């Protein structure tokens, strides 16, 4: 617990919390919001395509958007770590925080499995996505939705 | 010059432009001209987008005059509620017009096009009626020559639809977090489609043709619609949070975003982009501007508590 308090009360955390500069708390929240839009948005485009929406979109083209998707994810991971550090004891004591982390972990795992399953073979553009790929796509969408809901509720619960 | 002036300057525009749009639509149906019909859909869609900026600037106009003795609170409440109804029908018309434009490039099914036109025409007729009423009630706030006689009674003003909605949101704790969550979902869908379409124009994933990407646009429009509805609930519930330049800038960027997507729907240039093709320079510039516009919308929203009056 001592370590948690140390992190939370470190000079860096105090500065982020109290800073009136745009690179302080406001900027970090902004990056977190942009990150969500990028990672969830690109995941949604890929997921809905696998589920049959916009069937003319070639998967070999969509595959090139995975780096953008992961860029959004890492932007969120980095800004999320800072947002956690400045409010460590409260967040770690909030069960909803673990629900959010579980949803994010499940979403990342399913997106990675989806990449292997739907994109990782030669006939990617000629054969329709398998039932397993569709299941993974749907699961990833549900997990991102769960992450957004539990993330938003962090401000209200606990 | 403040946003109250902007409201007074812009508020006649929807009525006039919408009238032109409806006139062109009826004319187009009458003379069976697809070009006229298409032009009317463009006008109706852009008018609905501009109406967003007009509606929200009304808030500043109200703040500027509400304490004056010669201004009736009842008249402002009536105008606000009538404007909310008009706004809702205007946005439904704009959405139907957008879908009509989108389908134009997608299907050669004339039956579907006719059905869509009928929906747009019916919605636009209703909109025109409710908008004229909102304009008339707005005029009554300051134009004493048309003011209704009952205003001088001094009784507590009727809350109207807008204030009743605000009271509902205020007394039901689940509404605000639900709308916030949906606002995140909407922005993700919209940003996802914007990034996929516009980054492709800039060279990412070139095996995607523009014709294929075009199929994604309704997903982005769904995201936008979710955010328009939830955003309006925020706005109507706590209008004092959404005054000032930054929020108005956000709305201006939304209007620019609407104009930007029309380029991709109307112009032939993007349609020449097949699988593996490089996009023309003009298309690249407009694609890059779309990303800047929508990230800008997102930034303005997030920075409202920082620079604006929001919590």
Query: What is the C-alpha end-to-end distance of chain A, expressed in Å?
Result: 18
Full-model pTM: 0.91
Give the position of tokens 């059905």.
B115
- Cα(B172)–Cα(B103) distance, rounded to whole angstroms? 39
As a whole number, mean pLDDT of residues A119-143 equals: 88
As a whole number, mean pLDDT of residues A95-105 equals: 96
- Chain A partners of B311 at a C-beta cutoff of 8 Å? none
CB contact under 8 A, A30 and B195: no
As a whole number, mean pLDDT of residues A13-19 equals: 76
Find which of B172, B173, B176, B191 to mutate to test the A interface (most A CBs within 10 Å of its CB).
B191
As a whole number, mean pLDDT of residues B282-309 equals: 89
- Please say if the pLDDT value at position B156 is more than 70: no
As a whole number, mean pLDDT of residues B55-81 equals: 75
Q: Which secondary-structure segment (H or E) carries B14?
A: helix B13-30
Of A11-20, A73-82, B95-104, where does mean pLDDT reach its minimum? A11-20
User: How far apart, in Å, are the Cα atoms of A30 and each of A67, A101, B241, B243, B278?
Assistant: 21, 20, 18, 20, 33
CB contact under 8 A, A44 and B192: yes
Instruction: pLDDT band for B279, please (50, 70, 90 cuts).
Output: very high
pLDDT for A141:
97
Instruction: pLDDT band for B149, please (50, 70, 90 cuts).
Output: low
- Please say if the pLDDT value at position B143 is more than 80: no
Find which of B192, B201, B206, B278 to mutate to test the A interface (most A CBs within 10 Å of its CB).
B192
Instruction: pLDDT band for B69, please (50, 70, 90 cuts).
Output: low
Opening angle at CA B263, ends B261 and B266, nearest 5: 110
pLDDT for B104:
85
Please give the interface size between A and B, counted as residue pairs whose CB atoms are below 8 Å apart: 118
CB contact under 8 A, B191 and A41: yes
What integer best gives the mean pLDDT of chain A? Answer: 90
pLDDT for B155:
59
User: Between these two residues, B139 and B226, which has the higher pLDDT value?
Assistant: B226
Per-residue pLDDT tens digits for B157-200: 677 888 889 999 999 999 999 999 999 999 999 999 999 999 99
Coil/strand/helix, residue A52: coil
Per-residue pLDDT tens digits for B229-275: 999 999 999 888 887 788 889 999 999 999 999 999 999 999 999 99
CB contact under 8 A, A65 and B303: no
CB contact under 8 A, B177 and A156: yes
Name the DSSP class of B72.
-
- Cα(B177)–Cα(B27) distance, rounded to whole angstroms? 46
- Please say if the pLDDT value at position B107 is more than 70: no
User: How far apart, in Å, are the Cα atoms of B152 and each of A94, B67, B71, B74, B144?
Assistant: 55, 16, 11, 10, 11
- Would you call A87 an interface residue with chain B, using a CB distance cutoff of 8 Å? no
**A145 to chain B nearest CA, in Å?**
7
Instruction: pLDDT band for A136, please (50, 70, 90 cuts).
Output: very high
- Cα(A59)–Cα(B196) distance, rounded to whole angstroms? 12
User: Between these two residues, B107 and B49, which has the higher pLDDT value?
Assistant: B49
- Would you call A68 an interface residue with chain B, using a CB distance cutoff of 8 Å? yes
Opening angle at CA B230, ends B72 and A94, nearest 5: 120
CB neighbours (10 Å) of residue A112?
Answer: 14
CB contact under 8 A, A26 and B188: no
- Would you call A22 an interface residue with chain B, using a CB distance cutoff of 8 Å? yes
Give the position of tokens 């009238």.
B19
pLDDT for B128:
87
DSSP secondary structure letters along B241-290? GG-SHHHHHHHHHHHHHHHHHHHHHH-SGGGG--TTPPPPHHHHHHHHHH
What values do phi and psi take at B269, rounded to 5?
-50, -50
CB contact under 8 A, A58 and B219: no
- Would you call B295 an interface residue with chain A, using a CB distance cutoff of 8 Å? yes
pLDDT for A24:
79
pLDDT for A16:
76
């Amino acid at each position: 617990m001592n370590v948690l308090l140390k992190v939370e009360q470190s000079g860096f955390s105090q500065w982020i919390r109290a800073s009136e500069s745009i690179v302080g708390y406001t900027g970090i929240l902004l990056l977190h919001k942009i990150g969500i839009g990028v990672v969830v948005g690109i995941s949604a485009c890929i997921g809905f395509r696998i589920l049959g929406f916009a069937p003319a979109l070639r998967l070999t083209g969509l595959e090139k958007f995975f780096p953008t998707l992961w860029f959004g994810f890492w932007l969120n991971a980095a800004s999320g770590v800072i947002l956690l550090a400045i409010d460590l004891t409260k967040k770690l004591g909030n069960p909803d925080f673990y629900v959010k982390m579980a949803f994010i972990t499940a979403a990342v795992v399913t997106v990675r499995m989806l990449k292997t399953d739907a994109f990782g073979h030669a006939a990617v553009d000629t054969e329709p996505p398998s039932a397993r790929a569709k299941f993974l796509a749907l699961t990833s969408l549900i997990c991102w939705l769960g992450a957004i809901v539990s993330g938003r509720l962090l401000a209200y619960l606990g | 010059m403040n946003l109250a002036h902007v409201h007074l300057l812009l508020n006649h525009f929807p009525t006039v432009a919408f009238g032109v749009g409806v006139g062109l639509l009826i004319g187009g149906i009458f003379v069976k001209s697809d070009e006229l019909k298409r032009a009317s859909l463009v006008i109706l869609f852009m008018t609905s987008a501009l109406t967003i900026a007009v509606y929200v600037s009304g808030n500043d106009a109200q703040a500027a005059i509400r304490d004056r003795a010669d201004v009736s609170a009842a008249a402002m409440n009536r105008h606000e509620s009538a404007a909310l109804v008009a706004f809702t029908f205007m946005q439904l018309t704009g959405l139907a017009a957008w879908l009509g434009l989108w389908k134009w490039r997608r299907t050669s099914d004339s039956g579907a096009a006719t059905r869509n036109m009928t929906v747009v025409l019916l919605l636009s007729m209703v909109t025109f009626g409710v908008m004229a009423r909102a304009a008339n009630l707005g005029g009554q706030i300051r134009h004493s020559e048309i003011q209704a006689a009952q205003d001088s009674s001094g009784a507590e003003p009727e809350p109207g639809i807008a204030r009743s909605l605000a009271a509902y949101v205020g007394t039901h704790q689940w509404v605000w977090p639900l709308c916030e969550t949906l606002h995140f979902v909407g922005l993700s869908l919209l940003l996802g489609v914007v990034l996929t379409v516009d980054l492709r124009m800039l060279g990412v994933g070139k095996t995607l043709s523009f014709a294929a990407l075009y199929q994604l646009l309704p997903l982005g429009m769904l995201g936008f619609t979710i955010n328009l509805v939830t955003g309006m609930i925020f706005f109507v519930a706590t209008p004092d949070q959404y005054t000032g330049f930054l929020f108005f800038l956000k709305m201006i960027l939304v209007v620019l975003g609407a104009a930007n997507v029309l380029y991709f729907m109307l112009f032939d240039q993007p349609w020449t982009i097949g699988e593996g093709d490089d996009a023309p320079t003009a298309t690249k510039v407009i694609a890059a501007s779309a990303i800047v516009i929508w990230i800008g919308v997102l930034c303005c929203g997030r920075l409202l508590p920082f620079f604006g009056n929001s919590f």
